[in-house]
Structure 1
Amino acid sequence: MNNKLNNKFKSFNSLLLKLGFAISLNLVVTLLGDHGFALATPNEAQLANTLNRQRSNFILCPQDCDRSEFYIGYNRTNTVRLGQKVVSSVITKTKFLLNIANLMLQTKLPNVDVATVDNRDGNFVSSIHRIESLQIGFSEKSELLQVYTRIANTAAEATVKLFWGDTFIITSSQLPKGTPVKVIVERALGGFGNPVTENAYYQAIAKTYVSQRQISNLDFSVTKKPGTGETDQVSGKDTISYILDTKVGEKFTIESSLQVLDGLKGSNSGNQILNGADSVMYKINLTDEFRKNACLKSASKTFVSGSCQ
């Protein structure tokens, strides 16, 4: 891990340096006294139980996506507090965009959320959270949180969950139906946090699902608590690949989620700031030995690999 990963994530590459899911069906933000906020999510058993009731092929969109072959979705919260003054914006219901591959093409949907309390006397708290990209294969958000005050009971916190799902099929004019083939799924996390002061805290979790099954090898999380001396606690690899076994003629789904919490607590020691970004990118292809005699396509047309007519 390099120094940038100790601030947030190690950059995936120079492109992602400028750019920047525990999964839950609904995001809940819980106040934990002097320790800030934490994500509260259902456990894996609760998620598995939804399979008995769902109507779609997607675990993250079990009912809304019953007639969709691909989707994107998000929810988010943004809250600032300056003493007794509180400003909050919450999307309590997850927004699903069915058979849509790119949020940025939906011009009527805002991608930035701002919450601010300003006393007009030099004391203010601000949280700017932006969805930089939400499309099948790539999700990114950025944040700028500022606490400029020594007033007690002051904080800023924003959360976001970005996710997508797509349907894939393998075809071939040379290989008979049912022939085993292999697909490589490459997942890379990118991001940075600069600057980050001592009372900043955050949690980012990325997860991947194939045909409703969580692929634990592709899990990643990083957590930092507020306070002097606190450092990143990392689980998983920021860049990793996974080999998926499937067959000619079979359909399967892939889903991704990126869930991030960013926060600041006020401090007697001075102003606090958290400025950064987080992203997750996927490449999905046939392995080399099958690219000449098979074709992989996704319903959204985002992913195409192999010998496709």
Structure 2
Amino acid sequence: MKKIMNKPENIVDEMIDGLVFGSTDLIRRIPETNIVIRKKKSPGKVALVSGGGSGHEPTHAGYVGSGMLAAAVCGPVFTSPAPDQIVEAIKQSNQGAGVLLIIKNYSGDVMNFEMAEELAAMDGIEVDHLVVDDDIAVEDSTYTAGKRGVAGTVLVHKLLGAAAESGLSLEALKELGEKVVDSIKTIGVALSAGTVPESGKPGFILAEDEMEYGVGIHGEPGYHREKIKPSAAIARELIDHLHKAFQWKAGDPYGILVNGLGATPLMEQYVFANDVAKLLQADQLELPFRKIGNYMTSLEMAGLSLTLFHLQDSKWLDWLKAPVETTAW
């Protein structure tokens, strides 16, 4: 294992300090916690709080700032943050209009965030939650009841962050969020695994000429392993699964997120994005929103994911394109 670090047990703590150092005008760390909170408040607006295990950077702390998250709670690598940390994030981010928790669908995250929601409600804070389950590769995988929450979560942060800034109530944001989550679907492919610093071993092993479709962001099993293929063939595989899930027709508007999983160079992401564009344009889809880059990683996993977002309301595109002040968007 080769990693630029000091002691493995300190990696999350030191990572948070480095992140805050690089964006000190936007965010701060709540002392004695692993919570990153934005400096600029929006009084009277709903606050969005998210989080989960570390190792997926820039998710989630990289999206803390005006127009997206009010706070993010960083758990140990691939491990949910504790409820007391989440409660503290809720209390300190509340701007007077309530707090919406955005949770990736993993059993530990859902349990701990819901427990924190109950504790914060006992203190008189209005709190609700939204579970993101955009991964269509497999269901009931390791750590998950139902579909996993993956890179599409970032689009939920972005859209709901803008909607919150526009003044939507907590109830309205929850209702909007459920519609948005239903309109976002993701599927990925891995070429090699990431290595958790404290274990020193990769999460799974692929031969030099192998790839696996549908691997989760913690290294959970996918649905098919085979010899590596050209980018165009990988794009075809992922698009076919997404088409089956969406059943799109010519003229439908979609947003695209090509997401690197940690070790895949942008050069390769751009090649893949070009192949995706050709296929979607051949189906005559409208593609008014595109993002390419590392938005939700899995340590140094090689591979990428493809997220499509059916933009069923023109306002959704406006919110996706609204300006933000964050480290990573």
User: What is the TM-score of this pair, normalised by structure 2?
Assistant: 0.21
- Structure whose CA Rg is larger: 1
User: What is the TM-score of this pair, normalised by structure 1?
Assistant: 0.22
Greater strand share, structure number: 1
Higher relative contact order (CA 8 A, sep 6+): 1
Greater helix share, structure number: 2
